[in-house]
Amino acid sequence: MQFSAEQIRIIKSKPNGHRLIKGAEGTGKTTVATNKIPGLLKHYCIDKTDRVLMVTYNEQALNYVSYIYDNIEQDKYIQSSFFDEDNSYKLEIKTIDSLIICYFNDYKKSHNLKLEIASNIECENILISAIKIVGKQYKKLKFLNNEYFNFIQEEINWIKSCNYTNCEEYQIARRSGKINNIENGKVIKLRRNSKQKEAIYEVFKEYNNRLRESNIVDSQDVILLALYEANKKNCKKYTHILVDDSQALTKIQLQFLKAIYNPKIYSSITFIIDTDANKYPKGYLTRKKAFMSLGFNMKGKSNSLKKIYNKCDLLNTNTCYTIKKENKINNYRKEQDDSKKSYMLDTTKYIDLKRNVSYEFIRDSSSNNEIYIEEDGEEKKIEDLSYIPVYNEIAAGNPILINDLLADNYLLPKSWIRGSSNIFMLKIKGDSMINKNINDGDYVLINKQNFASIGDIVAVDIEGEATLKTYKIKDNKISLMPENDKYEPIILDENEFDIIGIAVGLIKN
Mean pLDDT rounded to a whole number for the chain: 82
Query: For 412-471, what is each residue's pLDDT tens digit?
Result: 888 888 777 788 888 888 888 999 999 988 899 999 998 999 999 999 988 777 889 999
What is the CA 305 to chain-centroid distance, rounded? 12
**Other C-beta atoms within 10 Å of 459: how many?**
24
pLDDT at 221: 95
Instruction: Note if 432 is an active site residue.
Output: yes
- Distance of alpha carbon 472 from alpha carbon 469, whole angstroms: 9
Instruction: Note if 140 is an active site residue.
Output: no
Q: Decide if 497 contacts 482 (C-beta within 8 A).
A: no
User: What DSSP designation does 342 have?
Assistant: P
- Distance of alpha carbon 56 from alpha carbon 65, whole angstroms: 8
Query: For 459-506, what is each residue's pLDDT tens digit?
Result: 998 877 788 999 999 888 899 999 998 888 899 888 888 899 999 999
- Catalytic residue, chosen from 42, 90, 258, 469, is 469
Query: For 53-86, what is each residue's pLDDT tens digit?
Result: 999 999 999 999 999 998 885 544 444 443 445 6
- The domain locations on the chain are 5-95+237-309, 119-213, 312-338, 345-508
Residue closest to 24 by CA, chosen among 276, 361, 233, 192: 276
- Distance of alpha carbon 423 from alpha carbon 421, whole angstroms: 6
Query: For 216-270, what is each residue's pLDDT tens digit?
Result: 999 999 999 999 999 998 899 999 999 999 999 999 999 999 999 999 999 999 9
Residue closest to 133 by CA, chosen among 215, 204, 195, 182: 204
Which residues line the annotated binding site?
Answer: 23-30
- Catalytic residue, chosen from 340, 432, 472, 486, is 432
C-alpha neighbours within 13 Å on the C-beta side of residue 71: 13
What is the bridge-based pairing of β-strands 302-305 and 17-23?
parallel
Q: Which CATH architecture has domain 5-95+237-309?
A: 3-Layer(aba) Sandwich (3.40)
Please say if the pLDDT value at position 321 is more than 60: no
- Distance of alpha carbon 245 from alpha carbon 65, whole angstroms: 12
- Reported as a pLDDT band with limits 50, 70 and 90, residue 355 is confident
Query: For 33-54, what is each residue's pLDDT tens digit?
Result: 999 999 999 989 988 899 999 9
Share of the chain above pLDDT 70, in %: 80
SS3 content of the chain, % helix, strand, coil (to 5): 35, 25, 35
Which residues line the annotated binding site for ATP?
Answer: 23-30
User: What DSSP designation does 424 have?
Assistant: E
pLDDT at 364: 55
Pick among 1.20.1440.20, 2.60.120.260, 2.60.40.1930, 2.10.109.10: CATH of 345-508: 2.10.109.10
Mean pLDDT of 352-363: 83
- Reported as a pLDDT band with limits 50, 70 and 90, residue 315 is low
User: What DSSP designation does 343 have?
Assistant: P
